[in-house]
């Protein structure tokens, strides 16, 4: 099967860093569909054409959605997000945006209303479809994934989760994950061929998607000790989040006696009501899910943690002095590649988009 590779691009974590990272492209399988036509001989006295034959049944399942359909959906998702972002009104996200994407946006708008600078951290997929991942799985709910260009940054792309609850409902997106940099992407079927959906409990993969998402949440929480066998490969999102929390811990406790040091910990959990998954050409799967996390700074009794100047977080919290706790909550949409069972490869995170939801403290 021939493949094509998307061009190298750059990625950055909008929330925390502007460091660009080179990225390898997603491989797209050309599939087995042969487009051809029948050429008839010309004659001076053509006879009326016969009735068109019924033709044989397809040897393989055909996609239940099309590139044209997903192109329309992606454009309308972008339009709804753009309208809502302009008005800071989550109700404008309907009808194409649903689930945690609405919850995350509503929380982000509340942050922006307090500190307008948070507007710059809104992460959104653009209107241009780069790669459609169509499905051959009939029945409902029906799921697909679209790789979509960023509306502002050339070469930056997002995995967009798309689901249709039933035949009467439109496709909606409950989330999108920015493609991570420096990672080899799996090969996927041509949109004219399509791929089967995988469920959260599919067991012919290296690990069921549900367990893979749970393990990734544990790795984000506890680091390498949560994954001693290196089942999950490193990725820029995990590295950046761990570096940030380590740097924050160092800054918080610089020049502070050990018994007065503040503690900082971030815990992640899977929101298991949201999931999409599609087969890759090698029998593995690309899956998407939703994580929520809480980063808590706990101040020792009798101590005070004080920022010398305000920042976007303390301005939302309404204080830069804390004597008890300083808490930030986040929502993250992620995409993982899970190899087939028995493959000599690790689970690879390939996309992540984080939204700051709340900042509180006292």
C-alpha neighbours within 13 Å on the C-beta side of residue 326: 24
The pLDDT-based confidence of 155 (bands split at 50, 70, 90) is confident
Cα–Cα distance, 279 to 205 (Å, whole number): 10
H helices present in 28-66, as ranges: none
331 token code pair = 């929502």
Cα–Cα distance, 286 to 280 (Å, whole number): 7
- Local structure of 49: helix, strand or coil: coil
Q: What is the pLDDT of residue 12?
A: 41
Answer with the residue of higher pLDDT: 235 or 137.
235
Neighbour tally for 71: CB within 10 Å: 15
Whether 73 and 121 have beta carbons less than 8 Å apart is answered as: no
As a whole number of Å, the end-to-end CA separation of the chain is 59
Cα–Cα distance, 300 to 259 (Å, whole number): 8
The closest of 176, 170, 174, 175 to 95, measured between CA atoms, is 170
pLDDT digits 0-9 by tens, 49-107 = 443 343 344 445 678 889 999 999 999 999 999 999 999 999 999 999 999 999 999 99
292 token code pair = 């929520």
Q: What is the pLDDT of residue 60?
A: 55
The pLDDT-based confidence of 234 (bands split at 50, 70, 90) is very high
């Amino acid at each position: 099967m021939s493949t094509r590779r998307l061009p190298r691009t750059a990625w950055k974590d909008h929330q925390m860093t502007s460091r660009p990272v080179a990225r390898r492209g997603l491989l797209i399988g050309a599939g087995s569909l042969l487009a051809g036509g029948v050429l008839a001989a010309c004659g001076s006295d053509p006879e009326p054409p016969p009735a068109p034959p019924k033709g044989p049944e397809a040897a393989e399942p055909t996609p239940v959605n099309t590139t044209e359909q997903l192109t329309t959906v992606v454009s309308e998702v972008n339009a709804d997000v753009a309208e809502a972002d302009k008005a800071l009104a989550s109700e404008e996200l309907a009808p194409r945006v649903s689930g945690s994407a609405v919850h995350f946006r509503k929380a982000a708008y509340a942050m922006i209303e307090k500190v307008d600078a948070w507007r710059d951290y809104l992460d959104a997929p653009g209107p241009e479809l780069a790669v459609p991942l169509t499905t051959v799985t009939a029945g409902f709910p029906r799921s697909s994934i679209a790789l979509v260009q960023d509306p502002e940054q050339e070469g930056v792309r997002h995995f967009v989760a798309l689901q249709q609850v039933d035949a009467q409902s439109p496709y909606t997106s409950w989330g999108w994950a920015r493609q991570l940099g420096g990672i080899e992407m799996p090969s996927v079927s041509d949109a004219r061929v399509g791929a089967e959906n995988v469920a959260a409990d599919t067991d012919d993969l290296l690990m069921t998607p549900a367990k893979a998402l749970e393990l990734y949440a544990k790795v984000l929480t506890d680091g390498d000790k949560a994954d001693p066998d290196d089942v999950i490969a490193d990725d820029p999102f995990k590295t950046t989040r761990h570096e940030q929390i380590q740097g924050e811990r160092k800054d918080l406790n610089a020049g502070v006696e050990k018994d007065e040091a503040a503690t900082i910990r971030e815990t992640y959990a899977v929101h298991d009501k949201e999931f999409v998954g599609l087969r890759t050409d090698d029998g593995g799967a690309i899956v998407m899910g939703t994580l929520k996390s809480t980063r808590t700074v706990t101040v020792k009794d009798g101590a005070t943690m004080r920022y010398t100047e305000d920042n976007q977080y303390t301005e939302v919290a309404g204080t830069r002095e804390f004597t008890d706790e300083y808490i930030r909550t986040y929502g993250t949409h992620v995409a993982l590649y899970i190899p087939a069972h028995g493959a000599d490869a690790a689970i690879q995170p390939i996309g992540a988009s984080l939204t700051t939801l709340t900042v509180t403290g006292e």
